[in-house]
Structures are given as structure tokens and as C-alpha cells.
Amino acid sequence: PKLDALLPLVALGTVADVVRLDANNRRLVAQGLKRVRAGALPAGLSSLFGAAGRSAPVATTFDFGFALGPRINAAGRLSDMTLGIECLLTDDALRADELARTLDGINRERREIEGDMRAQAMEIAESLFDEGEEPPPAICVFDPDFHEGVVGIVASRIKDKLHRPTFVFAASQAPGKEHELKGSGRSIPGFHLRDALDLVAKRHPGVLLRFGGHAMAAGCTVAEEHLDTFEQALAEVAMQWLDAATLQRRLETDGPLAPEYRRVDLVDTLHKEVWGQGFA
């Protein structure tokens, strides 16, 4: 296919995977959105817009990040990730509609599981902030009933509310791995999560069975009996790397809009809503 026909998928992947919108990525997302709004989008994307109750002719990056992306990702969290891939690649409109409805149903199930788990995990995390005690510099939460498919989403919610690097763990569902805990972490600016895990692994050999990730998100596997050791080790790294100012949530702005930028062409650019990671 012509490469420009792939731009809607490029835009979706860039936004949904929270890739930084540098100059080149922002151009790709803008062009992908332009094609989607013009109706030049794959059958699968069109069906996903319909299943999500969104309108492609007025699509925004919000649709990619919060409507289509979660439906595609839900299959990998709870079912078979190839469902989402097939939906994006099929040229058969009827098959695309069928797959989009299936993904929408899986996403509804994911939301129910996440809602119950988020409430329970948030209660555990907030209990660590009891008055009279020093709040922890990092948070680890585990419950035997947690579902490993949504630990990352729940960690993100806790991190957003409490502004702490956060790991949420669930018992592994892999055969023969019942005593392993799979964790997903989300971080705050100033705390490189993957580097923190690397330091924990060096200081406490054998605690981390597997780990990987990047600055703001990472995953790891620990034996259940080593969870307390991991929690203490992560807290030690956080105490060393984070100061009081970093642990305070900050809202940064560029200040008031200067008069010379109050133009019709800029208003038009803003209305296109090409927003994303690092460009919001």
C-alpha cells in the first residue's frame, strides 16, 4: 500500500502508546487525523469509531487515546491481543464490525474489573498517607484478587492522584508461576522507573526475577515472598532520588497568550487539537 494510507494507524499508535509528540511525530499525527476526518481510514478504524460512539469526521487525539486505544488494548489485557491486530488490518467491513463489537465488549469487562480493583487499590494506597506518619516516597500495592491485566491502569490512577511512583502487583496467571507476582509501575517526573529497578536488582540480587521499561512506565516480576523486600528497596531508592519539591505536584504553564498570537490562523490550529505527550 501507499505509505500515506498508513498514516491513520501511525497517528493512532503514536497517541495511544503515549509517544512524545516532537516535531516529526506531531506532523505524522496531524496528517493521520486529516485523513481520518476526510474518511480515508481503514475499515477497522471506522468500525472502532462506531463501536465507541465517536465520529470520525470530527476525530481528535482524544479519540485515539481514550476511545479507540483502550478497546484495542483491552483484548491483550483480558483475552487475545490478536483480535485488535486483526481489526486494524482487515479490509472486510463486516469482519471489522464484528471484531470492533467484540473489542468493545471486552473493554466493558475491563472497565468493570478496573473499577472494582481501582477502588480497593486506592484505599490501600491512601491508608499509607495516614495523618501523623511520614508519607511514603513510593507506593506498592498488592492483593491476591487483583487481575494482572489491569495493574498498569490502576497504577497510573494511583500515581495521578497521590503523585508518587507506584507499582501495583497481581498474582501471575501463567501455569506453574502461581507464586510469582507481576507488577506494573508508573512514575512521576524526576524518577526514572527502569533505572530504579536496575538499582534495586543490583542491591538485592534475586529479588527481581524479570524487569524492563523506561522512565515513566515499567514492569517487573518478583517472587511473592520477596514483595516486602522489593517495597523497602524501592522506597530506599525513592528517598535518595526524590526531594520534597519533586514530591509536590506542580502545574506548569507558558503564561498568558501574547497579543501577537491572537490570530485566526492560530485559532484554527488550536481547533485541530493535535495534542499528546509533551505537547499539550
H or E segment to which residue 183 belongs: strand 180-186
Cell of 60: 481528535
Domain tally, the chain: 2
- Claim to verify: residue 83 and residue 8 sit in the same structural domain: yes
Q: Which of 193, 194, 167, 170 is nearest to 182 (CA)?
A: 170
* Boundary residue ending a domain (74, 109, 144): 109
Q: Examine residue 122 and state whether it is found in any structural domain, yes or no.
A: no
pLDDT average, residue stretch 58-77: 95
pLDDT tens per residue, range 105-117:
999 999 999 999 9
Q: Examine residue 272 and state whether it is found in any structural domain, yes or no.
A: no
Phi, psi of 279 (to 5 degrees): -150, 80
Indicate the pTM of the whole model: 0.82
- Claim to verify: residue 182 and residue 143 sit in the same structural domain: yes
Q: Which of 59, 16, 62, 63 is nearest to 35 (CA)?
A: 59
pLDDT tens per residue, range 217-247:
999 999 999 999 999 999 999 999 999 999 9
Q: Which of 114-118, 133-137, 149-153, 189-193 has the lowest mean pLDDT?
A: 133-137
- Claim to verify: residue 80 and residue 174 sit in the same structural domain: no
Q: Count of alpha carbons within 13 Å of 58, Cβ hemisphere only?
A: 4
Q: Are strands 217-223 and 208-213 parallel, antiparallel or unpaired?
A: antiparallel
The CATH number linked to 189 is 3.10.310.30
Residue 88: its pLDDT value, please? 97
Q: Quick one: pLDDT band at residue 15, thresholds 50, 70, 90?
A: very high
Q: How far is Cα 140 from Cα 209, in angstroms, rounded to an integer?
A: 17
Cell 534495586 belongs to which residue? 200
- Claim to verify: residue 159 and residue 105 sit in the same structural domain: no
- Claim to verify: residue 156 and residue 82 sit in the same structural domain: no
Per the structure, the complete domain to which residue 145 belongs is given by 136-241
- Claim to verify: residue 147 and residue 92 sit in the same structural domain: no
13, 15, 17, 21 alpha-carbon torsion, rounded to 10°: 110
Q: Mean pLDDT score of the chain, rounded to an integer?
A: 94
Q: Count of alpha carbons within 13 Å of 252, Cβ hemisphere only?
A: 5
Cβ pair 43, 5 in contact under 8 A: no
Q: Examine residue 247 and state whether it is found in any structural domain, yes or no.
A: no
Residue 131: its pLDDT value, please? 66
* Residue type for position 261: Y
Q: How far is Cα 233 from Cα 231, in angstroms, rounded to an integer?
A: 6
- Claim to verify: residue 28 and residue 75 sit in the same structural domain: yes
Q: Examine residue 280 and state whether it is found in any structural domain, yes or no.
A: no
The CATH number linked to 104 is 3.90.1640.30
3-state secondary structure of 214: coil
